[in-house]
Amino acid sequence: MDVPASEKDLLSVRKLFERGPLERTVAPIAYSLGIASVAKPVIQAHRYSVGCGIGAHTDAADRELRIVLSFAEDWSPENGGVWILGKEPAFKEDILLLPPRMNAGFAFVSNASSYHGLSVVSVGRVYGVTIRISI
């Protein structure tokens, strides 16, 4: 018996809920972005100290759902370390600036126009966790 596509998607997401706490957290995010089935997540921890930043780039070669969580206590604009999202590498227009506030985050699907970077940290440190899921 064939299951309608929408029910198949829901069944794939339900299977994720059986895997563990991380998968149970990621499953609703993936489903809300229209991603029905995802691989086991890869988790990376990052620390950006004074002078560190990430230049504009896209990870188009790796088709992934990226979830970035920030941990920066007592952050203020003078600290730098702001996440920048845009559609082109010069970040001239249509950009989104995301301060690395404690327990904040964002998600995106990597593609040829999903440029992102981190402005240089000028005070303190910015900590982050990236959850990468191949799709």
How confident is the model at residue 43, as a pLDDT?
A: 86
Q: Which domain holds residue 97?
A: 39-134
Tokens of 53: 């930043």
Question: How many folded domains does the chain comprise?
Answer: 2
Q: Are residues 28 and 43 in the same domain?
A: no
Q: Are residues 46 and 5 in the same domain?
A: no
Q: Are residues 117 and 88 in the same domain?
A: yes
Q: Are residues 44 and 68 in the same domain?
A: yes
Please tell me what DSSP assigns to residue 93: S
How confident is the model at residue 29, as a pLDDT?
A: 72
Residues above pLDDT 90, as percent of the chain: 30
How confident is the model at residue 121, as a pLDDT?
A: 94
Beta bridge partners of 37: none
How confident is the model at residue 70, as a pLDDT?
A: 87
Q: Phi first, then psi: what are they for 22, rounded to 5°? A: -65, -45
How confident is the model at residue 64, as a pLDDT?
A: 87
Residues of the chain with pLDDT under 50: 1-6, 9-10, 13, 16-17
Best CA proximity match to 108, nearest among 99, 98, 122, 123: 98
